[in-house]
Amino acid sequence: MSDFRYNCLYFTTNRLSRIITKMADEAFAPTGFSPMYGYLLLLIIEDPGSAQKKLAEQLDIAPSTLTRFIEKLEQRGLVHRTTHGKTVLVYPTDAGRALENEIHMASKRLHQMYERILGKTASDLLSRELVNSSDQLEGK
């Protein structure tokens, strides 16, 4: 009857999402911020001067959500913004750059956590399938 728990993507995806988010929070706890902020900071470090629009697209989140994230990173002195007309460019500060390695280590911890259980090959495969489905659903 209630087979939606096994065959409805809404349910199955959100379930995994909750589980992985919890693991990620743990893995990123020592950095002092949550995974999404860590990855966002990485993106900004890799490509300083990105427009917010681009960052939001890369992370696949709503622009308003990105504004909130950048605000917090700025409050902590990890990035700064410069406005050019209607676009806003984001740069890492030295304090931000100094965290790069720590974030990479947190990311590695996360990978180890789930790869130890799922196996590396299966994890990679699953990730690829998820990207694939997401791309299709977004018409990309």
Q: Give the residues lining the site for a copy of itself (CB under 8 A).
A: 1-2, 4-21, 23-24, 35, 39, 42-43, 46-47, 58-61, 107, 110-111, 114, 117-118, 122-124, 126-131, 133-134, 136-138
Query: How far is residue 63's CA from residue 127's CA, in Å, rounded to a whole number?
Result: 24
Distance CA 55, CA 114 (A): 27
- Strand segments (E) across 27-78: 50-51
Question: Of these, 30, 63, 77, 119, which contacts DNA (CB under 7 A)?
Answer: 63
CA distance 140 to 44: 24
**4 part of the interface to DNA, by CB under 7 A:** no
Min. distance of Cβ 97 from a copy of itself in angstroms? Answer: 14
Of 45, 46, 51, 36, which Cα lies nearest the Cα of 90?
51
The residue ranges of DSSP E strands in the chain, in sequence order, are 50-51, 79-84, 87-92
87 binds, among a copy of itself, DNA, none (CB under 5 to 8 A by kind): DNA
Does residue 65 touch DNA according to CB under 7 A?
A: yes
- Residues touching DNA, count (CB under 7 A): 29
The H or E element containing residue 107 is: helix 100-118
Q: Which does 70 bind (CB under 5 to 8 A by kind): DNA, a copy of itself, none?
A: DNA
- 43 in contact with DNA (CB under 7 A): no
Q: Which of 12, 14, 82, 127 binds DNA (CB under 7 A)?
A: 14
